Structure 1
């Protein structure tokens, strides 16, 4: 016999839950030019399932799923012990203690070996506990034990001896738990061959156990069709016998009746590849789907996942005829494909071409079944759009609700493809108008009910309590597409406003930095985005989920802060620091004001040179502390320590500062000539504005706009230039400033080196620079009092 030490786990089964995808990412839009307008729409299959059948009962959050197996192990072990105690009620307490305790220890150690903790009362294993408090009955002092490897051998020996003296049905059952396949099934055969009175406690669970063991053999069985049909029939008969046995009085140990219904569904759709089940005449997807829906309402945590896998299996082999004929299967298959057939976690089910291919086959199956598309007009319109069947999409949309967000998106997209961009913008604007007051910034989505966790509703996006997440995503998509259309029409301020409200970070920054001039941007911010009123800090921290980000502990930013900060940085870059001050976030204004005072003093030529130098140096250190907060531009060249891989030369040069793909170039120089990438192409005015920006910021870039090191170094250079020759403070300042740039851009550090090696050659740092022809490796921590100390 082939031993299987964990065979007892066959009493329960489950499939990991796959999370449904949201189908929309805030970083769509102009990030890839305007090609987002050619992307298909994906709905949320999990949200559709809830809308059709209500929330599933008994489901757990995603962070509880890993404990589900332990819960089931515990429930099964406890149920077996309950029946064992009932079967041995006539035994003396000493005999029960001698024989039942080793059995309980054996089962408990298996649970604890998976990371759990178990408890036993001193006079009998009445209750097992795993990772949670439980009342132990009878109420005696209990001891908490942890599994220990050193005890394993003794426990196994005690268990093996104890089961020899158990009632026959328990003896056969516990022995079967240590074997797999035919060996375990033969022991179940012996159990079920006992007279009914001798298997009163385990008849149902023995049928369940035997069916599960025989099912394992199907995974690698090479049977002809007739033999496979017989094997499936025998397994099905055992699962059906579970319910009959319970009706006849056998205990439902560990909920095997409910579990058996799920496995009966599994036999009809997934126990073998679906084409093989079809060939055997064993497939019945609609029956399986109804069973999974019943299990879903019965509290089975894996039911949603089972439904997903059933639909995925049918779609993979384009097995659509049966689903097309059944109304419920038809509705769920449409929702599955409309959602892209993709789980939220893990690899995609299909590649993009696969989704289109399966969607096209599904639409064909519906036509062959003479299905009226009006019954599910919105989802079927989305599928028709995905496969490029514009006529079917337009016809089906006639039956879609006028106020449905996805239907409005599709109508606008069809108008756009037909060259009616004004009509498309009007459709999207009409969709958004009723939501104008309650649709907030749209950047943050929360994974749980914030109100229940002590959050102040005033601090949360307004629509969190007004709209479902699916609606919020569709309205955000509508706002994003409307912004793109308005941009193409030259309505820049409106486009920026919509991009910003939707959380399109790169897109609103593109309009604010590269399209609008400074006066236009300032007027827009002053008009539409006044400073946020101060709010109290949240009473608790909570998990934030950006749709496209990993979770992190945070609180929402005030809605207007980001765009006001962008304006402040633009004003700073043009030298209008005093004007920029009120637009900075409140927490950095004191530092910016301090910088402004120092810089104003440094620029005052009536002051002594050393006073001005000291002010320049202190201003430089304030900028160093502020980092990129003061003047960073979202677009421009990037720096990397890597090498240029665009050449085939073996001796590759460091790349360092280089142009990057994306905005703004991709907007005015779209990739490829496909019509889809030109649905909302920029007009002549936008092209002219962006090309001016490119000439000023990419052809002749100011590095300080992308790295604060350059701005700090420039102020330090001004300070050193005002100091006398061979001033120690001047040498230190130049060494520090040059060290900021010597690795990032050696040519940019040359002026600092030359000044240090000439005017300050009499200092230690200057002499070292002349000797090594570069800055020394000596660390030089900046001191704001260097100049004052040098007097």
Structure 2
């Protein structure tokens, strides 16, 4: 999901200084939890996240069309790369050559005399024989001889050197470079310089050959960029070296990227006197800007020195007029250092980049101007590409944040939208980030929006997820934001008793079926004619709430943490939201009104236990069903809430203890509860009613006898009176 799609003030300066209670509470130990903007709103608005070194150095060099992307064939220059190269080379040769040629070349490589290789490999094609002889000379440290053999390969007609031209040019460059490095002090400087220039030309020729279509299975065209850059760096051509390393990195080479980092570290170690003149070179400036933007300390553990943003900006200011080039990035460095006047000065020259508008938003917040900040955030969001990614950083509390500037900017704007009461807008800004700030979006959806606001948004903007096969299993980490949001809404509707409305938002058929059964059980509990019928409804609802409560009733965040399948608990007892600063009273009221009751991990277990207790209300005391439902209520809470579990147990002891006990191994409320026998409870109820009637008759037999005699006497008198009246009517003469 992109950060942008086609769907359609208070004292902020003081607010930025406040440290608010976290929305979701502190989290216990577990995996790498994502960074949550709403945990520390003031901090999120004040902070500018670290940039991306890899993205910044893209400005230093563009990839060469036709050179290809680096793959595993481009070996990194790590400590073990030398050991990997012969094996990689052999793997390539095994596929290129016939079995006889491959075996012969392996034998020749074991020799230590290049001339002998040339003689004994006479049956091989010229490019293979000459290149192998050069490789043996190179391995023996005979670099001039090796260079001569590689030149002979390149002098062959093109048709005869399709397989080894890039190898020969690259190896020629390395031979000449090593010959220049290992020249004796008495050798002429001009000769060493000439060898370096020839080596540089050989590396350039390697790329030319690759672009002309000559075989390059070892991706030596890409590797040649780094080799040529080393020569330029040794000659003091920082701009040229940095540019070539940047092109190598742009081809996807990890070696190019690590080389840029090493060059930046070397520059950072230099004294002011040594560094100042180098800052006149654009590539040097931009490389150090990339380092400082992506590493707020730039500390070098080897020397103990650090190139701070303040020192860098001072050297720039001392060495040239007020900088205009890269003013947005320099303003970011000044802002990070707390140099707000310097930030303002640089922003005046920073133009309309996304970074410049982001900084303007933060500066407006420092001035307490919420309206101007909101406008600047909107400008910044429009100017960052949705797919721009600054990588992952370790944020406060050891949480991880993948910084996509547009998403982060929209998230910060959402904080301001929450403060001014634009709750749906705030949710939409957070939700567009997809998984990045899902927990922030979930907090607003679950605790701030009304159910109707959330349902309206989902119906308009979040289409139904594709049907899920009945036998499909969806891992929690595979739940997409649309699926998570629709299920979050479904659970809110279930918690508020809107069962029919909730059903379509469950994607999995088994969850919809469980929700239907829970709905039917709650309705039976509310409308059954008999008490035992109501008890059955309450108990069935209790079982479903206990077994499927996380999926049907659980909160996405605290206290249940459905987002982690309930595996990690908040460490705060209750996540109240305190009004003040960036949190308006209206938002805090909404937050507190939607808290779980009780605010305890697995809160639905308390719901299940309460339903079981209500089932006991309609069951005959001393019945097996009465004991069984109270046993379950005790079992479900005995480890979470011993006091409440004890109350259910004491109720059982007072009104429902069975005699004899169900079995020798029976332990009340410790996982050994029986299934309630509701039919037996009905028989028990009728038996109890019959026994009660017989007891009543026995106790009041005299009074009942007298009452019966009186009723019979009265009935006889009424009957005789009716008969006499009927007789008189029959004998009376007719009228008129």
Give the TM-score taking structure 1 as reference length: 0.59
In structure 2, distance between residues paired with 1:261 and 1:294: 7
Partner of 1:166: 117
Q: Where does the alignment leave 5 or more consecutive residues of structure 2 unmatched?
A: 1-32, 122-128, 154-167, 392-401, 470-474, 562-567, 684-736
1:589–1:381 CA distance, 2 compared to 1 (3 A)? same
Q: CA deviation at 1:389?
A: 1.8
SS in 2 for 1:383: helix
Task: Give me the whole-angstrom Cα distance separating, in 2, the residues matched to 1:197 and 1:333.
Answer: 42
Name the SS of the counterpart of 1:712 in structure 2: helix
Q: What are the equivalent positions in structure 2 for 1:133-282 lying under 5 Å apart?
A: 159=110, 166-167=117-118, 187-189=140-142, 192=144, 200=152, 205=171, 208=174, 240=197, 242=199, 259=223, 262-263=226-227, 265-266=229-230
Number of aligned residue pairs: 592
Contact 1:265 1:292 in 2 (8 A): yes
**Structure 1 pair 660–27 and aligned structure 2 pair: CA distance change class (3 A):** same
Cα distance in 1, alignment partners of residues 215 and 461 from structure 2: 65
CA distance in structure 2 between the aligned counterparts of 1:246 and 1:571, rounded to whole angstroms: 68
In the superposition, relative to structure 1, how do residues 172 and 744 fare at CA in structure 2: closer, same or farther (>3 Å)? Answer: farther
Q: How far does residue 366 in structure 1 lie from its aligned partner after superposition?
A: 1.6
Supply the distance in 2 between the matched residues of 1:371 and 1:290 (Cα, whole angstroms).
25
Report what 2:46 is aligned to.
38
1:485 paired with 2:416, answer yes
Structure index of larger Rg: 2
| 1:422 paired residue number | 371
1-structure distance, mates of 2:438, 2:203: 60
Q: How does 1:328-347 map to 2 (within 5 A)?
A: 328-340=283-295
Q: Alpha carbon RMSD of aligned pairs, Å?
A: 5.9
- Check the 8 A contact 2:109/2:132 in 1, yes or no: no
1:507 aligns with 2:459: no
Counterpart residue number, 2:608:
712
What is the aligned partner in structure 1 of residue 100 from structure 2?
A: 123
- Distance, in Å, in 2 between the alignment partners of 1:311 and 1:786 is 77
CA distance in 1: counterparts of 2:477 and 2:448, whole angstroms: 34
Rounded Cα–Cα distance in structure 2 between residues aligned with 1:313 and 1:584: 57
Q: How far apart are the structure 2 equivalents of 1:786 and 1:34?
A: 58
Contact 2:468/2:507 (8 A) holds in 1: no
Task: Encode CA deviations 1:560-592: one digit per residue, 9 max, x unaligned.
Answer: x65554454444434454565566557534432
Selected match of 1:747 from 629, 632, 643: 643
8 Å CA contact retained: 2:50, 2:295:
yes
Tell me what 2:659 maps to: 762
SS state of the match for residue 40, structure 2? strand
- How many Å apart are 1:494 and its aligned residue? 3.3
The corresponding residue for 1:681 is 582
- Whether the 8 Å contact between 2:414 and 2:427 is mirrored in structure 1 is yes
Alignment of 1:601 onto 2:524: yes
Deviations, residues 724-761 of structure 1 (Å, cap 9, x unaligned): 45545555554454333333333333234445556243
Q: Deviations over 1:516-557 (max 9, x none)?
A: 5x4xx5246426753744465799xxxxxxxxxxx9984744
Give yes or no for contact 2:525–2:538 (8 Å, CA) kept in 1.
yes
* Greater Cα shift, 203-212 or 480-489: 203-212
Q: CA deviation at 1:314?
A: 2.0
Q: Is the contact between residue 616 and residue 629 of structure 2 (CA under 8 Å) also seen in structure 1?
A: yes
Residue 486 of structure 1: how far off its partner (Å): 2.4
1:263-662 matched pairs, under 5 angstroms: 263=227, 265-266=229-230, 283-293=236-246, 295=248, 302-315=255-268, 317=270, 320-340=275-295, 358-402=308-352, 404-429=353-378, 473-503=404-434, 504-515=437-448, 518=450, 521-523=451-453, 525-526=455-456, 529-530=459-460, 532-534=462-464, 554=478, 556-558=480-482, 562-563=484-485, 565-578=487-500, 580-581=502-503, 587=509, 588-604=511-527, 606-609=529-532, 611-634=533-556, 636=558, 659-660=571-572
Unmatched segments (≥5 aa) in structure 1: 1-24, 80-106, 129-154, 179-183, 218-225, 270-276, 343-347, 448-470, 540-550, 640-655, 670-679
- Following superposition, the deviation at residue 687 of structure 1 comes to 5.2
CA distance in structure 2 between the partners assigned to 1:364 and 1:268 by the alignment: 28
CA 1:582–1:284 in 2, change beyond 3 Å: closer, same or farther?
Answer: same
1:244/1:617 CA distance change after superposition, 3 Å: closer
Alpha-carbon shift at residue 199 of structure 1 (Å): 9.4
Q: Is the 8 A contact 1:41 1:386 kept in 2?
A: no
Separation in 2 of the partners of 1:572 and 1:266?
66
How far residue 405 of structure 1 moved from its aligned partner, in angstroms, is 2.5
Can you list the C-alpha shifts for 1:347-403, whole angstroms capped at 9, x where unaligned?
Answer: x9789xx9996222221122122155322222222222111222222222223333x
Q: In the TM superposition, what is the alpha-carbon distance from 1:415 to its structure 2 partner?
A: 1.0
5 Å matches for 1:83-98?
A: none
CA distance in 1, matches of 2:179, 2:321: 42
Check conservation: 1:120, 1:127, Cα contact below 8 A.
no
Cα deviation for residue 310 of structure 1 reads 1.8
What is the DSSP-based 3-state SS (H/G/I as helix, E as strand, rest coil) of the residue aligned with 1:360?
Answer: helix
The CA distance in 1 between the partners of 2:361 and 2:147, in whole Å, is: 72
The answer to whether the 8 Å contact 2:331/2:346 transfers is: yes
Please list the CA deviations of residues 185-244 of structure 1 after superposition, one character each: whole Å capped at 9, or x if unmatched: 99324x7469968995689848836966998x9xxxxxxxx9999999999876555467
- Cα distance in 2 for residues equivalent to 1:247 and 1:536: 54
The 1-side partners of 2:205 and 2:418 are apart by 73
Per-residue deviation, 1:681: 2.7
Distance in 1, Cα, partners of 2:270 & 2:230: 17
- SS across alignment from 1:375: coil
Please list the CA deviations of residues 703-731 of structure 1 after superposition, one character each: whole Å capped at 9, or x if unmatched. Answer: 56744333333333433554445545555
Contact 2:608 2:633 survives alignment (8 Å): yes
Q: TM-score, normalised by structure 2?
A: 0.62
Per-residue CA deviation, residues 634-665 of structure 1 (Å, 9 max, x unaligned), is 555579xxxxxxxxxxxxxxxx9875299655
Secondary structure of the residue aligned to 2:548 is: helix
